[in-house]
Amino acid sequence: MNEIVLHLMEIGEPLAAGFLEFPDGPLAQTYCRAYRRYYETCPLIYRDGALLFPAGDTNDVKPAVKTCYARQYTVDWKALEEKSPRAAVEFRKFAKKFHYAGEWNHSMLNYSRILSEGIDGYEARLHALPPSDFREGLLDLIVGIRAYHRRALEFLRSKNAPTELTDALSRVPFSPATNAHEAIVALNFLLSLDGWDNVGRIDKILGAYHKGEDLRPYLRCMMQSIQDNDRWSMTLGPEFNGISRQVLEASVGMARPLIQLRMSKSIPQDIWELAAKRILEGGGQPALYNEDAIQERLRRRIPTLTPADAMEFSGGGCTETAFAGMSYTGATDQDLNVLRAFEGYMHSALPTASSFEEFYENFMTLLRDRQMEQTAFINSTYNERAVTCFAPIRSLFVDDCIDNRKGWLQGGARYSFSNHSDSGIPNTIDSLLAIRHLIFEQKRYSPEEFLKLLSAEDPALYAVLRTCPCYGVGDQRSDALAKDLTTRFYEYYLDAVLDIGIGFFPTVHQFRGHIPFGKVVGPTPDGRKGGMPVADSLAAVNGKATKGPTVMLASASCYEQKDAYGMAVLNLSITKRYDKNILRALVDGYFAMGGTQMQFTVTDRETLLEARKDPESHRDLIVRVGGYSEYFSKLTDELKDAVIARTLFE
């Protein structure tokens, strides 16, 4: 080891030290050596008496340079500089060249295959490959995982951990699991290697080993670590079993992991009863997915998709489409702020527009230009990522990277595509409707007068805007405009080219983005004031769905979802007084109309207002935001206000 590598090891920065062992070396070996050094010395996280390892919050791990399931490594530059200014200078040189370009991503490992083959099986497949940077790097990575595994066993025995845990961990995950307990011990261990990102089809993974045992305490332990680390999701169905039921029961009171229930018409009644009970208890879980529609759409989008692979559909992160164990996708790679594009266009084009049709068509042309810029940017970042970054754990454990002898970021996975996002489309629809109604049909305002009053946020104008046609109330002309705009918008992505992978799978969810995306947009004709949030996903603009949930869902079905392959999210806020049969009727009706997904916040306005004032007394209150669930007390004040402002259906 050279001097700077030894120095980084001495100050407790093994990942950074490993990177600088090969600062100008082959990509895979550089990243895999860094991960090996990290696993050889990283802190071990375990709560005394816990049923699984690791258990706890790995965010408390002290190194400034840490592994990351998405970007492969993250750096706390301030902490690194405080430890050693010299180390920070040297590592900046490395990071300038070897870095993760662009936005976040999510995926899941092929946990079922790892449990059935063991890591020993993966190592044997690597040895069968001809020598290469890819092969040598991943073999080095396995050396590091073995060291981490050995250290964990020694540590657990020193902590007098349950014997059943150490006995199981002495076999798995290097040897195949032989029973359900070994399977969940191995699964939890593997999740920590990947940063607790996403589980995938938990009932399929564990169901292969389940003989009726009560795994709820183990499931709860695993879920607690996922929640402690503020991580992501797991999927249930569409083939349900005892694990499906135990997951729903074990997750009571937990905001994470996000449970995605794939719901077909043939869902077992007891699963529906349990899911409805959980929803109406107010836990924000599970979200419901239209299995029949999703399967049909994915097979149409990917003609080579086999029935077996299609069954591995699972949401990554909040909800972005993935195939468990076999896909590489971005996670809302870049947001296209449609309302911001509209605002600029409106001020420049409205004064000279001779008709609404001309105004609308020219806007759609501009929107297409913005989409072209977006997809070109994403394609560029994917290409840059492929030469500056390597994903060790995912390249080892996601099919078909080993068979293709390519890294996960280099196109090795069986299915690679971009999940990217948009924001503000419902607001844009309502803005177009108001302009058509007030300027071109009623001729109540001249374009110049309208824009002047709008910019001044004139109260009289805003009172008029609240009376305009809008999306979400079942108005046929309004819904027709929504359908036309969204159909044309999402159709563009079918032909857009991505050099690495299949192409683009647009999402309709904002995560937390509807707050910052609104901050950069001034007053708009949908009735927003400058800087206010945009609509959350595809729901109607807050306060406008005044004719009840059935009508709002009918309008939402006119928002063209069939080409939004990344996932089209619908947030619905209802009270606990809802009957489970009425809830089922709403879900079945929306899915029959082509709706893709539904998620529920079940509470009342009074409780939300009380929780806003006194968060400490309402720490268990869970709400749904833009595709994910969270404890209300953990939201920013702006997100709390946005949740309170939603239409609440009695």
| 393-411 pLDDT per residue, tens | 999 999 999 999 999 999 9
Q: Burial level of 281, CB count in 10 A (0-12/13-18/19+)?
A: middle
Q: Burial level of 614, CB count in 10 A (0-12/13-18/19+)?
A: exposed
Which pLDDT band holds residue 648 (cuts at 50, 70, 90)? low
pLDDT of residue 59: 67
* Exposure of 531 in the CB half-sphere (CA atoms within 13 A): 2
For the ranges 362-371, 505-514, 569-578, the maximum mean pLDDT occurs at: 362-371
Q: Region 167-187: what's the mean pLDDT?
A: 98
Q: Are 13 and 87 in contact (CB under 8 A)?
A: yes
- CA distance linking residue 465 with residue 481, whole number of Å: 18
Largest CA distance in the chain: 80
Strand partners, 600: 572
Q: Per-residue pLDDT for 60 more than 90?
A: no
**Peptide bond preceding 392 in cis form (omega within 30 of 0):** no
Instruction: At 90, give phi and psi (nearest 5°).
Output: -65, -40
Q: Per-residue pLDDT for 61 more than 80?
A: no
Instruction: At 396, give phi and psi (nearest 5°).
Output: -80, -40
pLDDT of residue 558: 94
Q: Per-residue pLDDT for 228 more than 70?
A: yes
Neighbours of 636 (CB within 10 A): 10
**Cα 531 off chain centre by:** 25
Instruction: At 454, give phi and psi (nearest 5°).
Output: -65, -45
Tokens 């001495």 sit at which residue? 10
**Peptide bond preceding 173 in cis form (omega within 30 of 0):** yes
Could you tell me the two tokens for 199?
Answer: 């589980």
Q: Are 415 and 108 in contact (CB under 8 A)?
A: no
pLDDT of residue 623: 80
Which has more confidence, 614 or 337?
Answer: 337
**DSSP codes of every residue in 161-228:** --HHHHHHHTTTTTSPP-SHHHHHHHHHHHHHHTTS----BHHHHHHTT-SS---HHHHHHHHHHHHH
Could you tell me the two tokens for 344?
Answer: 């600029």
pLDDT of residue 633: 86
Task: Tell me the pLDDT tens digit for each residue of 501-540.
Answer: 999 999 998 777 778 899 999 999 999 999 999 998 888 8
627: nearest Cα among 275, 232, 311, 104 = 232
Length, in residues, of the chain? 650
Q: Region 79-102: what's the mean pLDDT?
A: 94
Q: Are 267 and 588 in contact (CB under 8 A)?
A: no
**Cα 319 off chain centre by:** 5
Tokens 């529609």 sit at which residue? 293
Q: Burial level of 649, CB count in 10 A (0-12/13-18/19+)?
A: middle
| 332 φ/ψ sector (left φ>0, alpha ψ -120 to 50, else beta) | left
Torsion 204-206-210-213 (CA) sign: negative
Contacts of 352 (CB under 8 A, 6+ apart): none
Mean pLDDT of the chain: 93
Contacts of 582 (CB under 8 A, 6+ apart): none
3-class DSSP state of 568: strand
Task: Tell me the pLDDT tens digit for each residue of 316-325.
Answer: 988 999 999 9
- CA distance linking residue 108 with residue 327, whole number of Å: 8
Q: Per-residue pLDDT for 19 more than 90?
A: yes
Q: Are 145 and 38 in contact (CB under 8 A)?
A: no
